[in-house]
Amino acid sequence: MGTHRAPELTEPTLLTFHDAATGEHVDLSASELGGCAAQVAGLLREGCGLAEGDRAAVLLPPHWLTAAVLMGAWSAGLRVSLQGTATAGLDVLEPGADLPYDVLFVAADRIGSWLERIPEAKHRFSLFAEEAPEGYRDLESAVDEFSPHVPAPGRTRAGDAVTPDGTTYGSFGAIAAELAERIGLRGGDRLLVNAATQEHPLKWLLAPLSAGASVVIAANADPEAFAALARSERTTHSLQ
């Protein structure tokens, strides 16, 4: 009798990123996204020397690396202020000048507009720059320098603070689940999100993940490109 080898199983895609302007297309499974997030945690813990309770400002647009930054910062126990426009019924915290930050993540084209609103951080990383501006390190290359950092089991608890104002993981999770319910997301669904209009991570990351759905981020997509992505990616819901 011949030897039969079981076919290799391909892990489904959890997050897809499309940029119509640059042609960038990234597909990440849950384990791949988790690995990227663990590298960010390594950067924060080992590279920056940060600890639980330290403050991070994440002023980045929807992007696969933004997802890794957020998940890595949370897994490292940091309190994170989020970029994004408020949504009805959701309490959104944005960075304020009265809060000191230990690390800042910002898109290169937004640095000037934010420097007047927040104090200088000890560690600064930029996204979307061929060369990082003076005083900033390129985010993607900085992350690539570090091996994954795996936090101790049980580090994240529902009652732990996830933002500088003390909002807990449990509260954030409840808000994400409520938003997923509003959108109508269920396990196995696929959500297409317009990066230009849906910047808050509750919409493009936490809501779909809370429902067991995957997400497709469409950057720089006009209505025609957005509709084409909905067809090619076989999405079930969209946020334009």
**Is 8 within a domain?**
no
**Is 153 within a domain?**
no
Choose between 102 and 128: higher pLDDT: 102
**Is 113 within a domain?**
yes
Q: Which domain holds residue 67?
A: 15-148+159-239
**Is 129 within a domain?**
yes
Tell me what the mean pLDDT of segment 133-139 comes to. Answer: 86
**Is 154 within a domain?**
no
pLDDT at 69: 95
**Is 137 within a domain?**
yes
Q: How many domains does the chain have?
A: 1
173 burial (CB, 10 Å; 0-12 / 13-18 / 19+) is middle
pLDDT 10s digits, 37-81:
999 999 999 999 999 889 888 888 999 999 999 999 998 989 888
pLDDT at 88: 36
For the record, the structure tokens of 194 come out as 């317009």
Predicted confidence (pLDDT) at residue 220 exceeds the cutoff of 70: yes
Distance CA 59, CA 110 (A): 8
Distance CA 132, CA 126 (A): 6
CATH number of the domain that 200 lies in?
3.40.50.12780
**H or E stretch at 19:** strand 13-19
Structure-token match 């985010």, residue found? 139
Q: How confident is the model at residue 85 (pLDDT cuts 50, 70, 90)?
A: very low
Choose between 84 and 35: higher pLDDT: 35
**Model pTM?**
0.87
**Is 1 within a domain?**
no
**Is 6 within a domain?**
no
